[in-house]
Structure formats: C-alpha cells, structure tokens
A and B are shown apart, each in its own frame.
Chain A
Amino acid sequence: MSLSEKITELQAAGAAAANAAANSAELEEVRVQYLGRRAELPNLLRGVAELPPAERGAVGKAANEARKALEALIDQRAGRLAIEELEARLEQDRVDVTLPADPLPAVGRLHLITQTWREIEDIFLGLGYRVAEGPEVESVYYNFDALNHEATHPARAWTDTFYLSDEVLLRTHTSPMQVRSMEQQRPPIYIIVPGRVYRRDSDVTHTPQFHQVEGLAIDENITLADLKGTLQTFARAIFGPERNIRLRPHFFPFTEPSVEVDVSCFNCSGGVTAAGERCSICKGTGWLEILGSGMVDPNVLHFVKDSGYDPELVQGFAFGMGIERIAMLKYGVTDLRLLYDNDIRFLEQFA
C-alpha cells in the first residue's frame, strides 16, 4: 500500500469513527486515536522527512490536509455533540417553578393617602399648576381673618379648632395658603396646596387630623366656567373618563359665588347598581359630593391688593377637597379610621 493510499484510508477510517462516536467521551477517544501524539496520521507526517526528497512535498501535503480535514470534522462533530448533551442535561434539570421565590421579594407600599395625594398632584401638575406648601401651625389671621370669616364664625370656636394660643392654631384647612401664596407671588398664580389639616372632631366619619388639597387660580379672565372645566378634568382623571360633575350653589365665606361639586357615581347609574340594587356608595342619589369651591371673594383679594390682586383687574377660583374622602371613594374604603390605624395588612393592599 502506498503511503498516499494509507493516508486516504486513515482519513476515511477516522471520519467514520468520528461520525460513529455517540458522545463527547467516545469522540475524544477517536481524536486521540487518529490525531493524538502516538496516532498514525501525525506519525506519517513525522515520517515524511525520511522519504526521498521528490516524494516529500506531495505526501507531506496530502498527510497535512488529511489531518486538518479530520480535525475539522471532529471539532464540528464535538460541537454538535456538546449542544445535544447540554440540551439533554438541561432537560433533566427541572425545578418546581411553582415554589415561592427566594428570597421573597420585599415589596413596600406607599400609604394610600400618599398615593392619592400624588395622583391629585400629578393631575394638576399636568394642568400647569405648581405645588405650594404652608405652615400647619398657623395664625388666626391667615386661617380665618384673611379668608373673610366673621369674628363669630362657629369654626373659630375652641370646641371646633385646635389652638396653641389666642392667635395661633392648627390650620383647619389648606386655604390659609391662598393669601400666603398671593402675598409671595404676583398674578397670575396657579397652585395647589396639599397638606395636613386639623379639626376637633372624632367619630366614624371624622378624624382630628386629615389631609386636604387646596387649589387656587387667579388671572385676568378666569371664570366660573373655567372652574367647572378644571374640576371636570380632575374628576375624570381620578374617577374615570365617563364621569360627569354637577355644580350646586352653596355658601363659603371666602368664595362668591360658591359651589359644591358632585361627581357622578362610578358604582351605579342614577343610584341603581348593575344588579338592580340601591347603590350604597352614593346612597341611591347617583352623585358623590367631592369638594367645595367658588370664585375667590373680592374681600379675600383685598387682603393682597398690594401684591397686584385688584379685584377689578384679576379674578379666579379656589377649591378644596379632602384626600381621605377621594381615597375612600376611589378605593372603596369603608372606615376612615383604617387610614390612620396603619395595619400592615391594610397597607399591603394598595399596589
């Protein structure tokens, strides 16, 4: 057998063995047998040196090519086997994917009041308002006098309002920031004022501390219709695009005209639920009272006339709503006091 024939035969045998190898280990044996240190093919290459010079070139080349071809074939085969073997191994490596996570993801919640607070803020930020903040320990002047409350207004009574001294109290609403803000900023002004407020009241529907959001918009041509549009936008953003609002005339010392605003109940149609029962959320009226508002009373603007608020030149609206009330309505919380109990099982519910 000529050397060339030998090379061809070895290559063919190696290729057959490689193709026959069932797994990586067997293939490694084939590699050692045909290409290893003591294998025939490399030996042939080493033996080329002993050939007559005329044959060396052709035989050497053939042997080298055969070796490379076999190497490539084995590498390729090895790659395929590795993939198959990995897949087979992964196939066996099964876990019970329904077992709980580990470590359990720690997911904290923002308090429902904070979530609602931000939701309200975001709506008005989108409408171009800024968020102003003011003191909770407030003077009688800003809380009552500058808001056109008569000296005998019942809310001033010590039975209704927390006092720290004759002239200092815990603000009973976020409205004191109306005058404070106007003192600081000339018109136009568009602000909301979220924050804590306090009233001496404690029963099923009252807590001595609660949260309000005040709104104030003063400019040259602001109208009651603008108030309606603004609050309608708000009500739809909070309670859903199908909602309507209804304005009812009312009385507040610091707005004139004053209106209370109802939003159409999201739980029923005209007071009757889909199940045909009287709606418990709106008590069958089809409307939910959500806030008080009105056009800022000229008397209030008089307090800040020096800051550019001449009632003949500028006008605007103000509104005030309770964050707890909005939260309770929106999330169906039935007892106000749950919001201040801070039971973890309650807090966890609101993602």
Chain B
Amino acid sequence: MRVPLEWLHDYVEPHMDAHTLAQRLAQTGTEVERIEHHGVRGGENFVIGHVLTRQKHPDADRLSVCMVDVGGSAPAQIVCGAPNVAAGLTVAVARPGAVMPDGTRLGRAKLRGIESEGMILSERELQVSEEHNGIMVLDVDHAPGTPLLDVLNVATDVLVLEITPNRPDCLGIYGVAREVAAATGAPLKPAPWEQDPGSFGELDGVQVAIEAEPHLCPRFTARIFDNVTVGESPLWMKARLMAAGQRPISNVVDVTNYVMLLSGQPMHAFDLDRVAGRRLTVRRARAQEQVQTLDEQTRTLDEQMLVIEDADGPTSIAGVMGGARSEVSDATTTLLSEVATWNGPNIQRTSLRLALRSEASGRFEKGLQPEQALWAQALATRLLIDLCGATVRPGTVDLGGPGPQPATIRLRDARIAGLLGMEIPRERTRRHLQAIGFLTVDAADGLDVTVPDFRRSDITREADLIEEVARLDGVDNLPATLPASANTERGLTARQRQRRRAADALAAQGLHEIIGWSFTSPELAQRLRLSDPAPALTLANPMSSEHSQLRAVLLGSLLDVAQRNRARGATRIALFESGRVYHHDQPAQLAPERLAREPHHIAAILAGPLRNATWREQQPRHADFFAAKGVLAALLSTLGIDWQVGERLGGFLHPGRSAQVLVGGEPVGWIGEIHPNVAANWDFEDTVAGFELELSALPLPGVPSFQDVGSFPEVHEDLAVVVAEQVTAGELVEVVRAAGRPLLAGAEVFDVYRDSARLGEGHKSLAVRLDYRAADRTLTDAEVMAQRQRIINAVQQQLDGRVRGGG
C-alpha cells in the first residue's frame, strides 16, 4: 500500500518527517517497508512561467526559442522541443540547478547554438502522468515566478506500507490516516465520504438482480450519472494517482481508482448505454464459461466464480476484473457506478485460479465490510459531479444492505494488566480506543467497547481489544520480567543427550558434520542399486523432480556432499550427518492419523587418506572397511553400547567388505565399503567406506556399576591359535571369552599371520591378548593356568584350533 504523504495530509497532519512517522507507525503495528520520494526534489528551482514569445529555432526544425516570464526582472530564454508550446501559456519551468525526479541536476545548456536557461516541463518529466507529447499546460493563471510546489503537488514522500491481513481497513488512505492520528495524537479530519451529494431510494434506469447466494455477495450498490464528459483528470489528481502507483487513464476511470485508493473500497464504472438490456445480474459462472476481460484476455471460469452479466451475457468477473464490452470510452455520457461487497475467500480463490490479481481483488480478498460500499458511492458521486460534469440521478440500488450490528465487548482493567504485565489507567485505554473509532462506555470493572463496522471481522474478543490498547500504548514500554515458575522436570532427555554425544564423538574422530536435504530424487534408489527399495514418501507439489521424495536414508545426502567436495579438490573426505529419515509402511495410506515414521539416523562416510600427509607420514593409510569400523567403534563405545558385526550385506555395499551392525542381536544398521559401481555413480574411483545406524533404535545408556580394577593386579598373556581360514576372529574371540569365564576380563585379536609352509594350507594364526583379573584376590599361577587350559580345550573342540608356541 503506497501512501503519498501529501495526500495523507488532507486528513491528518502529524507534523513530523517521513522517517519519524514511519518509526511511530512501526511501533504501533503498521509496518513501513520503505520510504520513497515521488516527483521533484527540492522545489526552489521549479517555478510558474508565462510564455511571452515563441520563435522557431534557426537551426532546428523541431525546436522553438521561447522568452518566458519566470518572475525575474528579465524573461528567461528557453529552448523547447514540444509542439504545443505557444505564447500566452502558463507552464512549469525548471531553472538551472533544479533536481529532476530521476535525480539529474539541470544546468545551463546550448541547444544547436542557442543558450537555454532552463526547461519547460512535460507531465512525464514531473511524474504527473506518462504524457510526453507536449509540455504540461497549467490552466490556472498563477503569477510568473510562483513556486510550482505552491500550485501543484509534484513532490511528496511516499510511505510503502505492509498491511497485515487482519487490517483491510488500512487499505485506503483514510484508514491509514486514522492509524496515523492514533499513533501520533494528531487530530483526524472527518471522513471524505461524510457529505454525500447522492440520494437513496429507488433508482430508475437499471434492473439489478443477485442470483448468487448472499454470503458470496453481501452487498451490491449502484448509482447512475448523466451528462458525463469523459476527458482528462485535473493535474492534482493525476499527480496523486501516480504517486500512489496508478497510471492516469481518463477522468472517469481515474475517479474510480482515486475512490478505491482513498476508501479502500474498489468500484467499477459501466457505460450504461453499453449495458445490454440495462440490467445486471450477479450469478455463479457456469463451468467452462468464457469471459473477455479488460486486458483483452479470454478467461475460462468455473462454478465457484461469480460473474456480472447483462442481457448479452457476462460483462465482468465479479471483484476481479471488468469486461471489455461495457467499458467506459471517450463517447460515454451515461455512467453506472457499481460498488459491491464480495466474499473475501471466494475472490481470493478466483484470482488465484485465474492467476489474475488486481488492486481490486487484492482488497476484496481481505474481506471488506458492507458499509464501505456507500463510502465509495458518496466519494464517487462528489468527484464525478466536480470533475466530469456529471449529474447524479436520484436513488441508489442497494441490495443486501449494511452488515450486522456492531459487537459490544467488555474490556476488564484487570485483564489488561494480567495479560500485559503492566497496568494501563482506564482513561488511557479509553483514549487509545476512541482514537481508532471505538465507542466506550464505563462499566464496573472496565469498559464496554463497541467495535466500529470497519473492524467487525478483526475485533471479536477481549484479547483483540487488549492488543489494540497494547500496541497504541507502546508494547516497547513493557517491563522485562521472567515467569515466576518453570517445569518440574528439567534438562534434556536421555535420548537427546545421546544424540548430542553421538555427534560429538564423530566430530572428535575428525569427521565434519553436514546438513543435507530432507528431499531426495526418485532415482536415488536406482543409483544406490537398491533391488527392492521400500516405497518412498512423495511430495504432491515438489519444487523439482530431484527433490520430489523424502529421504529414507542419509547415505544419499552424504554421497552428494562428498561428491561436490571432491569435485572442488578435497582429497580427504570424512563426513557425517545426524538427522531424520522418513518411512511409511504404505505411503498411499498416509493420513493425519497415520503419519510417517521419522527415525533419527546417524551416518558417516570416509574416502581418501584418513589423515592429511605430513612430513613424517607421506602416504597416510586410505579409508577402508576397518577405518570405518574404527569410527563406528569409537561412536558406540562413547555411547556405552555393546555391538557386533552380523551378516555380510552386498547390494549397494562391497559383498566381501560389509556387514550388518548388531546391537543386542538385532540389526540397527550397516557398515562397509560402498560397492565400486555405486561409488562410481558419485564419481568416486577410490574406496568409499561408511556406516549408517538408526540412532533412535539404540539402547539408552544405563548407569554403569563400579568394578574394582585397581586393588589386585591383572595378568596378561598372549595366545596364538592356528585355525582354518574360514574361522573368523569374531568367532574365536567369542569361544575364548565363553571359556575364559570367570577370570578372563578381556580378549582381543592383535595379530593375523599366514604361512602355508609352517601352518598348513588354508590355515592362519590368530594371536589373542588375554587379560585375567579377579576383583577380590591376586590370581595365582595355578588359577590362571587352569583357566588358560579351559580356553585351549574350547578352541580345540569348537574350532578345531591348535595352540602354537607361546604362553
């Protein structure tokens, strides 16, 4: 909403500059997007001139040399290119030094050898209109030298406001003036529609019927004007329209726009002689019905939309745009002014569906009140009489009438203080409410407040009134206090703490956290070579096809980010993400009572050297299965979780270098090297290893109970066992641990050795470090020997292993 201050000042004069006013408005709830300047800057070098003589330029056919009385002792010589310049005209002159609206500063100039002391201005040069075929001619005879700004409103600051959807009453200059008055304390002048030259009662000359349901068209009013002379609007009106962002067209159209900008209520003017049958009907459009609108486009409607039709069919789309057929032309002499109230949501829908937004539809969709229709009729009547020579016929078509009785709401003093945390004396409350048009009557515990019709839909409850009082009293004056109490339970939940520790653990391992998109591409499953992907959750209105599904795994985002970083030259990739994925058993069954499952995953990938090369380690080891396993082990150890690797996986993973991750025997994710063909889909030629876990499925840490490890010494020894190649380290350790109870506190494989000559074909030696400990005594050699023998026996019996040397 553009508010030229020059126009606003007709109704309220706060006597403050635009910036101060903007701040004051912001503090009371009207957001000022920006302040613009319209027209000339600094008026001192713009004056009224009288053209004394006009002679043809000796060296240029199109130029004239004029002597112009600009009020000084001698006339100014000005070269002018306009065809309509003539002796005797009153014109606007820019003297050297003048700053034009576009910011250029006028100097003395020579045009084809003739000195020019300034410029005779066109309407466009002054931003009064877009007219540039000739100079602007002032029809009033002001004295030469009079400052132009005294005569014409060609310079004003313009506030560009952002009107919140609850305040359609501020979509007109006068509504804004009411806010300005309330915000600044300046007096508000009476509304410009209070004096209505028209009359009510039956109107001859047109038949109007509303066939649409009343809620779609709560009010429809019309008046008829005869003897209309269509022509140009006066300069002051053109200048205002331009400053408010409307191009002047003709006096009749300009009046309708001016009325809308001032009152907030859009209106439409029909050439009554072109309204077939002189009757108008408001009805729902028929499916696929077509209307040609003013912009000469053919629009196809549906049954939710409203049209206004005459005897020959639809002439306009109600509330959105008029039709070409009954448009006002230069030949128009009889006018029908139509002002109606439409249903906001319905207009919003129509304008969205037709992708047709206008100043009118933008206002109607906010929901205007029926009373506003007569504001516009009164204003239009006055202006059509004054500016277009019209006479108004007696009577007014008024179908629907005004809205319901205004509500009266009790506003309790105690409630204001209770909600705001600050007492506001009742007198101040009353003053604030009266300033914005509310009526107040004293009650025992507060005020009975009657809401004005133009705020009917916004203010319905006590809380709404408190907001009005608070904003006008200044929410910024509130004290800053803290709530007296808080929750009885405090702190993060165990699950939330676990999530933080997990991310910290991975960062401590040197991995950077990324944040990927929740959106993914339907092709991801294929790129990951998932043979049987679960059906994905799909957006009905994605922004692009590559972002049309919700991710079911984190691996995709990690590979995308890794690829991008690799392309930018990063050799060492060590990344993780901790975030949600989105699952549904049957996406087709997605419904409010069956929403998605949103488990929290944590995933990491490694590629390239594990560390940056240094002066002592030129060739650091590269990422592989075991590097990923180390990171996973560090993560799960930090979280205090026992885990094992399970079955190998394949699919998008290397079939020989991948495994399930088991916690409590249940799979919670995978670890492995990405299959080279999959990695290649993300341009990786080297090994990419990683893991992904369902973090939210991991057990929460219990409270570990103390174990005495310091009172008695541990006994360490090594055991080398030769087993068949297919026996895994994990199996060996499991057998050792089982047989080592109760004295064996730890067992870890620390060496793998192959030598077919010494160990036999198909065999390997695994060396295990054994730690024995008892909490209550120092172990004797005999005890340890006995336990060791049980381990050796178990390995022989269960794994067909034999002990090699040592011990």
Contacts and interface: CB of A to CB of B under 8 A. Distances in A.
Interface of A: 99-111, 113-114, 118, 121, 125, 127-131, 135-141, 150-154, 157-158, 162-165, 167-168, 170, 188-190, 196, 198, 200, 202, 208-209, 217, 219, 221-226, 228-230, 232-233, 246-251, 256-259, 295, 297-298, 315, 339-345, 347-348
A128 B487 CA distance: 6
Contacts of A196: 518, 579-580
Nearest to B458: A251
Interface in B477-518: 478-487, 489-493, 496, 500, 503-504, 506-518
Contact of B419 (A106, A121, A137, A315): A315
B570 interface: yes
B166 interface: yes
A257 B415 CA distance: 13
B463 A224 contact: no
B26 interface: yes
A226 B420 CA distance: 9
Contacts of A223: 418-422, 481
Contacts of B510: 105-108
Contacts, number: 259
A158 B541 contact: yes
A208 B508 CA distance: 31
Contacts of B547: 208
A228 B483 CA distance: 10
A109 B503 CA distance: 9
A167 B614 contact: no
B539 interface: yes
Nearest to A127: B486
Nearest to B464: A256
Contacts of A217: 483
Given A232-B480, A249-B28, 19 more contacts: A114-B513, A125-B490, A127-B482, A128-B486, A128-B490, A131-B493, A137-B595, A150-B345, A163-B541, A168-B592, A188-B486, A208-B547, A222-B483, A224-B419, A224-B422, A248-B31, A298-B463, A343-B568, A344-B512
Contacts of A139: 592, 595
Most buried by B among A151, A165, A345: A165
B540 A165 contact: yes
Most buried by B among A100, A190, A230: A190
B514 A208 contact: no
Contacts of B483: 190, 217, 219, 222, 226, 230
Interface stretch (B294-302, B468-476, B664-672): B468-476
B482 A226 contact: yes
B620 A164 contact: no
Contact of B517 (A99, A189, A209, A298): A209
A189 B489 CA distance: 10
A308 B384 CA distance: 60
A200 B598 contact: no
Nearest to A299: B461
Contact of A135 (B29, B518, B596, B614): B596
Contacts of B470: 224, 249, 257
Nearest to B540: A163
B757 interface: no
Contact of B617 (A103, A106, A247, A343): A103
B487 A138 contact: no
Nearest to B510: A106
Given A226-B481, A247-B478, A162 B515 contact: no
B611 A103 contact: yes
A140 B29 contact: no
Contacts of A100: 614-615
Contacts of A251: 29, 164-167
29 contacts: A100-B614, A102-B617, A103-B611, A106-B611, A108-B506, A110-B504, A125-B492, A137-B537, A151-B345, A152-B348, A162-B540, A188-B485, A200-B541, A221-B484, A224-B421, A226-B482, A226-B483, A229-B481, A233-B482, A247-B475, A249-B27, A249-B471, A257-B420, A257-B475, A315-B419, A342-B575, A343-B564, A343-B568, A348-B512
Contact of B481 (A106, A225, A247, A348): A225
B703 interface: no
A230 B595 contact: no
B292 interface: no
A200 B421 contact: no
Interface string B526-566: 00000000000111111100010010000000000100110
Contact of A165 (B517, B590, B598): B590
B97 to A, nearest CB: 28
Given A102-B615, A228-B479, A250-B164, A136 B518 contact: yes
If over half of B's interface residues share one DSSP class (helix, strand or loop), that class is named, otherwise mixed; here it is loop
Nearest to B548: A162
A295 B166 CA distance: 17
Interface residues of B toward A: which range? 35 or more
Nearest to A142: B592
Contact of A342 (B345, B478, B564, B611): B564
B612 interface: yes
B598 A135 contact: yes
A163 B539 contact: yes
Nearest to A260: B31
A130 B478 contact: no
A249 B31 CA distance: 9
A137 B611 contact: no
A137 B519 CA distance: 12
B614 A258 contact: no
A186 B159 CA distance: 46
Contacts of B345: 150-152
B591 interface: yes
A189 to B, nearest CB: 8
Contact of A248 (B26, B485, B540, B620): B26
Contacts of A257: 419-420, 463, 466-467, 470-471, 475
Top 4 A-B residue pairs of the complex, sorted by shortest distance between their CB atoms: A106-B510, A225-B421, A128-B486, A223-B421
B344 interface: yes
A152 B457 CA distance: 14
A234 B764 CA distance: 63
A340 B513 CA distance: 11
A146 to B, nearest CB: 11
Interface string B331-368: 00000000000001100110010000000000001000
Interface string B640-683: 00000000000000000000000000000000000000000000
B486 to A, nearest CB: 3
Contacts of B418: 221, 223, 315
A224 to B, nearest CB: 5
A3 B757 CA distance: 72
Nearest to B489: A130
B614 A101 contact: yes
B539 A108 contact: no
A283 B761 CA distance: 78
B574 interface: yes
B546 to A, nearest CB: 12
A109 B513 contact: yes
A99 B615 contact: yes
Given A110-B503, A130-B487, A164 B611 contact: no
Nearest to A339: B515
A71 to B, nearest CB: 34
B582 interface: yes
